[in-house]
């Protein structure tokens, strides 16, 4: 019973994976649809094989059971050419049936699209966050991937530290992001809305927390977002006006700007924060509320163990000032 209830709990936990925006079973783009077709085909074949094998097994169990009065070992049968050929040819044919669509889909998914055909996005994985750059648009962001609907996106993926894997279950994937190497994958979203992405390669203490958001919008909204980002990132950071935010900006410039960029200034060690206030989540995982931003700033290791953000040992007033400043970082 204990094992059964554990199993039940596990099943319950797994139902959490059934969210549409995080499900491979509800594809929202052509790549995910092709991958889902392969899953359906191989699952159908596997289920078919399982059923046939179990039927034969059950038949044999009943047909050749020991009957009352039976003595000694039954007649032993060795070798049957017809049967042996049959059970070699059937799996061979089944493998062919799976291999043909798998290989053709594989080639389809590995097509590379030029910048005339697809939006180019460079993805860099870090412990434990995601950096997204649009080289042709002059835009860099982190944690929130913004995409136009119905358009091919050619991703160039790599890693700044260890191996991670880039995966947006509802759109397709996944692909390893390896340091010193560029892998490519194309994806397309066919509906607008919010999807979620995951790191799919064990990469350290906070691997499970290495999520990102994918916001798919129509082309006009995407263009206006990109133009807004581009304008801001070509300029110097704006001076905060409110007293507390201005104090926060001072702390930020002193302690954070070395690693985090805002507008056209700052380091690349940590996530670009130009549009921080527009993000739905803090650190990729917490709901974006001032309380959660404060919690993150007070003890980043508590929220995301093993990440590279140092504890700045801020007092409450400093934390509040910094939170106030971060809330001014919007391009909307």
State phi, psi for 296 to the nearest 5 degrees.
-60, -45
| Shortest CB 211 distance to ligand CUA, Å | 10
Q: Which residue among 199, 214, 232, 283 contacts ligand CUA (CB under 6 A)?
A: 199
Stretch in the footprint of ligand CUA (CB under 6 A) among 183-191, 202-210, 242-250, 269-277: 202-210
d(CA 166, CA 173): 7
State which of residues 30, 164, 282, 283 lies at the interface with ligand CUA (CB under 6 A): 164
DSSP one-letter code for 270: S
Q: Does 209 bind ligand CUA (CB under 6 A)?
A: no
Choose between 203 and 216: whose C-beta lies nearer to ligand CUA: 203
List the x/- string, 233-262, binding to ligand CUA by CB under 6 A: ------------------------------
203 makes contact with ligand CUA (CB under 6 A): yes
285 binds ligand CUA (CB under 6 A): no
Mapped onto helix, strand or coil, the DSSP state of residue 274 is coil
Q: Which helix (H) or strand (E) holds 176?
A: strand 172-177
For ligand CUA, which residue of 131, 201, 215, 278 counts as binding (CB under 6 A)?
201
Asked if 210 is part of the footprint of ligand CUA (rule: CB under 6 A), the reply reads yes
| Other beta carbons within 10 Å of 169 | 24
* 304 forms part of the interface with ligand CUA (CB under 6 A): no
**By the rule CB under 6 A, 142 interacts with ligand CUA:** no
Cβ 158 to ligand CUA shortest distance, Å: 13
Q: Are 311 and 299 in contact (CB under 8 A)?
A: yes
Residue 127: CB minimum distance to ligand CUA, A: 7
Select from 208, 186, 181, 212 the least CA-distant residue to 280: 212
Taking each helix axis from N to C terminus, what angle separates 290-298 and 316-326, rounded to the nearest 10 degrees?
A: 130
Q: Which residue from 192, 188, 163 is spatially nearest to 173, judged by alpha carbons? A: 188
The CA dihedral of 251, 252, 257, 261, to the nearest 10 degrees, is -170
């Amino acid at each position: 019973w204990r094992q059964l209830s554990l199993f039940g709990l596990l099943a319950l936990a797994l139902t959490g994976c059934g969210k549409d925006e995080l499900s491979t079973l509800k594809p929202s783009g052509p790549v995910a649809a092709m991958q889902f077709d392969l899953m359906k085909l191989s699952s159908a074949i596997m289920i078919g094989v399982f059923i046939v094998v179990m039927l034969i097994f059950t038949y044999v169990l009943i047909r050749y059971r020991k009957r009352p009065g039976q003595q000694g070992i039954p007649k032993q049968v060795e070798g049957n050419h017809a049967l042996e050929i049959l059970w070699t040819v059937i799996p061979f044919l089944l493998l062919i049936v799976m291999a043909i669509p798998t290989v053709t889909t594989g080639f389809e998914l590995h097509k590379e699209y030029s910048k005339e055909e697809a939006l180019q996005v460079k993805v860099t994985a870090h412990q434990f966050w995601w950096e997204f750059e649009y080289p042709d648009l002059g835009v860099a962001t982190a944690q929130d991937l913004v995409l136009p609907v119905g358009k091919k996106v050619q991703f160039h993926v790599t890693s700044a530290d260890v191996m991670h894997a880039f995966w947006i279950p509802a759109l397709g994937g996944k692909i390893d992001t390896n340091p010193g190497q560029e892998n490519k994958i194309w994806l397309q979203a066919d509906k607008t809305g919010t999807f979620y992405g995951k790191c799919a390669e064990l990469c350290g203490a906070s691997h499970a927390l290495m999520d990102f958001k994918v916001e798919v919008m129509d082309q006009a909204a995407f263009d206006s977002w990109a133009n807004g980002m581009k304008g801001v990132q070509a300029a110097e950071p704006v001076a905060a006006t409110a007293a507390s935010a201005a104090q926060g900006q001072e702390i930020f410039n002193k302690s954070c700007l070395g690693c985090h960029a805002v507008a056209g200034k700052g380091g690349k060690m940590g996530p670009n924060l130009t549009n921080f206030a527009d993000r739905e989540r803090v650190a990729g995982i917490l709901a974006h509320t001032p309380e959660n931003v404060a919690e993150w700033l007070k003890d980043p290791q508590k929220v995301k163990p093993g990440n590279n953000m140092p504890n700045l040992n801020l007092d409450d007033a400093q934390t509040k000032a910094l939170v106030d400043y971060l809330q001014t970082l919007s391009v909307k």
